[in-house]
Amino acid sequence: RILSVNGSAVDATIAAMFCNGLHNQQSMGLGGGFFMTVYIKEEEKAYTVNARDKAPAAASKDMFNGNFDRASK
């Protein structure tokens, strides 16, 4: 639908991510992390977007082990 009303492939991708994010909120969406490669034909260049989430420097893989109250905030 997005492409049929003169939207770009990026517009269509964002729309699809929004819809998938509603269905799989725990796994993806505009508020979560993602990678995207965008090719601009006129420039003959590819650009990458790295929107992966990043943990604070003080985070550790076991920082919430045994502490349910802290993990749920």
In a domain, residue 29? The reply is yes
In a domain, residue 9? The reply is yes
pLDDT in tens, 40-71: 999 999 999 887 777 788 888 888 888 778 77
Residue 29 has pLDDT above 70, yes or no: no
Q: What is the pLDDT of residue 45?
A: 96
Q: What is the pLDDT of residue 3?
A: 86
The residue segments making up the domain with residue 21 are 3-53
In this structure, the strands spanning 35-40 and 45-50 are antiparallel
Q: What is the pLDDT of residue 30?
A: 58
Number of domains in the chain: 1
Q: Would you say 38 and 49 are in contact if contact means Cβ atoms under 8 Å apart?
A: yes
In a domain, residue 68? The reply is no
| Residue set of the binding site for L-glutamate | 52
In a domain, residue 65? The reply is no
pLDDT in tens, 3-14: 889 999 889 888
Give strand pairing partners of 40: 45
| Residue set of the binding site | 52
